[in-house]
């Protein structure tokens, strides 16, 4: 067995998204600290991830629409085992499926909150995290008014 020893001076880099042409407007909006979702012109359904046609009515007129960067926790889990070694220092952390306010869309990302305070229905807002000049990530955190006094 080849025993090549990896460098231990720095943790491995975290993988970054490689936006498809279809999803590029979503990532462009994040770089402007905005949340945009693809909406069907015919029936109003929000597509996420973006598609070439509406899954509800099969309409092809889809418009990128700015939405409010907040929502409520639909579901969540606490990750104890890092999916790749780059996330080893982050565990345990919360990953949440958030229903974006005023839409039917649910987005998945990290939920930055005390793990013992997570709950379904928790109001959250998007945090924009510029990683480099091409990619900004989005995460969620509790809306300020929802934090208990003990956690401040």
Give the footprint of Zn ion on this chain (CB under 5 A): 40, 42-43, 45, 54, 56-57, 59
Least separation, in Å, of the C-beta of 9 and Zn ion? 52
End-to-end CA distance of the chain: 51
Q: How many CB atoms lie within 10 A of CB 145?
A: 6
Q: How many CB atoms lie within 10 A of CB 56?
A: 14
Q: How many CB atoms lie within 10 A of CB 51?
A: 13
Least separation, in Å, of the C-beta of 95 and Zn ion? 29
Which of residues 45 and 64 has its CB atom nearest to Zn ion in the complex? 45
Which of residues 35 and 62 has its CB atom nearest to Zn ion in the complex? 62
Alpha carbon of 143 to those of 35, 71, 116, 121: distances in Å? 16, 9, 16, 12
Which of residues 45 and 93 has its CB atom nearest to Zn ion in the complex? 45
In the structure encoding, which two tokens stand for residue 116, read together? 């013992």
Strand 136-142 to strand 93-100: parallel, antiparallel, or no bridges (unpaired)? unpaired
Least separation, in Å, of the C-beta of 37 and Zn ion? 13
Which of residues 14 and 60 has its CB atom nearest to Zn ion in the complex? 60
Signed CA dihedral, 121, 137, 143, 81: sign only: positive
Least separation, in Å, of the C-beta of 71 and Zn ion? 21
Least separation, in Å, of the C-beta of 54 and Zn ion? 3
Which of residues 55 and 114 has its CB atom nearest to Zn ion in the complex? 55
């Amino acid at each position: 067995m080849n025993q090549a020893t990896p460098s231990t001076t720095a943790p491995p880099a975290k993988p970054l998204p490689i936006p498809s042409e279809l999803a590029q407007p979503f990532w462009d909006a994040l770089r402007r600290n905005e949340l945009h979702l693809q909406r069907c012109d015919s029936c109003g359904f929000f597509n996420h991830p973006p598609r070439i046609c509406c899954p509800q009515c099969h309409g092809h007129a889809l418009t990128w629409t700015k939405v409010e960067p907040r929502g409520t926790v639909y579901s969540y889990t606490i990750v104890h085992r890092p999916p790749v070694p780059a996330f080893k220092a982050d565990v345990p952390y919360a990953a949440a499926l958030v229903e974006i306010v005023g839409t039917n869309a649910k987005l998945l990302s990290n939920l930055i909150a005390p793990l013992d305070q997570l709950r379904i229905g928790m109001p959250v807002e998007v945090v924009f995290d510029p990683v480099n000049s091409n990619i900004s990530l989005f995460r969620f955190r509790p809306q300020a008014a929802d934090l208990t006094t003990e956690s401040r």
